[in-house]
Structure 1
Amino acid sequence: MSTRTVRFGTRVPSGWVVGQVGGIPVVLAPSWVLIAAVLVLLYYPVVQRLVPTVGTATVVGTTVAFVVMLLVSVLLHELAHGFSAQRLGGRPREYVLTFWGGHTSFEQELPRPGGSALVAVAGPAANGLIAAGAWLVLEATALSGPGALLLYGAVISNGLVAAFNLLPGLPLDGGHVLEALVWALTGDRTRGTVAAAWIGRIVAIGVVVVVLVLPLLRGSRPDLGSIWMVLIAFLLWTGAGQALRTAGARRQAAGLDLRRLAVPAVAVDANADLDQAMLAARAGGHVVLVEQGRPVALLETQAAGQVPPGARAGTPATAAARALHPQQILTVATGLPAVEAVAAAQHHGSVVVLLDPRTGETGVVEVTAVARAMGARRRP
């Protein structure tokens, strides 16, 4: 997602934009509605039982306040990831609040294990600070009733979130720490990802055993909380599987360099006419129309050739050009990030334009050429 200003309520693939922090969109996933409903069902009877002397309106208000507090806690967790990554040179793409918490996506992976581990730890650390702050307020004041219950909820929920997220298995934050540790010891990030992903699957199985299997063996019936945790375990298993697929793709993409597949291109100002564009095309290769140093269109030489030579001087080059979607402009050329960028861009056209942000040089890469290169890497 672009980090340009996105209006409140805009629908994006991951959900609805509900704000921006530092120019980075904050997105509420549709699944958050489900988690909010589950939390209300879980917490309402707790409030009703612990503060029976208050009215229904107060119970409802306290329950809703608890859900909002959790939403804010999750957001602060993700912002901690984002802010720490920015200090290390990794810009977030979006903060997404989802069914089982949230996630922060980044424009690029951090290149060193130490930085990756620090970013992973930042989220649980934020929850730990929230829990500690709520506990200090409780200790320093004589709050009782709904206010105290809300603070106790902040202490317990943030403490549990911090501890759970530090379990050493992907996709949890502790899994990213384990991945970084193996990466630092072996020099191989992919090996770290595989190890942390398999531990993540073990964690998922462990959650099911603890919250469902053992209580059933003791004769207990599953409640809404245990069912919710089983869903969380399923998401952990799915996330670990995705991490394994990412590791396989990273191995496959290792050593891939789009610059070796690129056909040189000549950059021509987007305000040029067809005469100037065709003159550049005669030098060979593609003609990329640029605006303020940014590629905006690719000249269609066949369409341009159909314009009579006498009319080309007064015809804008854009009249015989195919507009480029922003995702078709790539500044990353190597490894898995490049492959993922090409995969995202193929929905908008059969080519991508490789741009060197330092020199402004451009090259055109056929999506099929990348697919062939990846296919060759799959063959033994």
Structure 2
Amino acid sequence: MKKYIIILALLGLFLLSSCSKSSSTDGVTNEQVTPNSLSTTKSENESSSSNKSSTPSTSDTNVLSPMQTFKAVLLNKRTLLCTDKSPYNDLDHEWNGYLNELAYDSNPIKTPQFAVVDLDGDGVSEVVLAIEDYNGFIILRYKESKVYGFIVSYRSMYNLKADGSFMTSSSSSDTSVGKILFIGSTFFQDDIINSVGGTPDITYFIHDMPIDKGTFDIHLDSFDNLPDVEWHDYSKQTIDKLLVDSTDTKNVPVLPKPDSYNRQNYLDSLDYLMDLRAYYNISLEVQEEVNTNARNYYNGCYKEMNKIYQLCLEKLSGDELKVLSTTQQEWQDRYDQRLSEYLSEHNANNMNDLVDQSMYYQLGDIMLRKTFYLVNLYYDYYFYD
């Protein structure tokens, strides 16, 4: 929980910081394009939808391939919907317009470099724009003939690798390596390994199961040895060169469409949990509101984890079934231990004895990450390899 709160604070600082303003241009050249109009929040956009600069061009109705669509967005010929909403971010700004209009508090968000990388392993690449001065990234995702953008802070997604994995850090001791899952209208960072705490009491985990420092370091070294993503200057020449249809499947595993499609549909069905999770960061005056929402999130995660676990039990057989049953029991034992330790620290017999029950959010996170792991197992989706 501490880790996410710190990350949220960092993102908030970035969004509230001022960027140096540049003169606007009409198109992409070998110099970074700067916004030519101020972006607005969702409510403001709705009241000014007649503004010509924010109105999609006729090309927005054309059916384009993913790479053609990205290219049109980067060249400011096609609009996108961009947001800073995440499961850990109560800021919910929304920009609907052209990429060169993207700004915050009248300050343009400048992105001098970009990378093309498949973040979620579905065979279709995303475009990641690096915001200048290490102020974060804009993730562009293609979905159903449209492009959606997500803003994340620098420390939420640095050291990006060609396979889509990256590091997150809120302190020298709180570090993780993970990947992104896209879920409905937002995303979730799924840690592979992470460290928590302060010296000398740092604890290490792999998929929420405790490991020793030596094992953690081996996995961290493996991550460090992965090829870095290739960053490119944001220019029309580079966009024309890179954003071609063959980029979709170059150097990424191409999975059977039914598995990829059905898996994503399953993940999208969990979007309601993302909304419940984001609700935690909204300032509520009544503690019981916090508790009620936390319990709803926890119960939803519990239901979804057990649902996909039963599906896996029905699908697997032989040694695979035995391994699943064993690892799930080990996970359950660890979960029970973690809950018991927390209750003991607060002199409580159960969570309902506590005035503040927000710990249900953290417990729900643990179950949600297990749910994602089981979803990948069910669809034979080797997301972490």
Q: Check whether TM > 0.5.
A: no
Higher relative contact order (CA 8 A, sep 6+): 2
Between structure 1 and structure 2, the one with the greater Rg is 1
Normalization by structure 1: what TM-score? 0.24
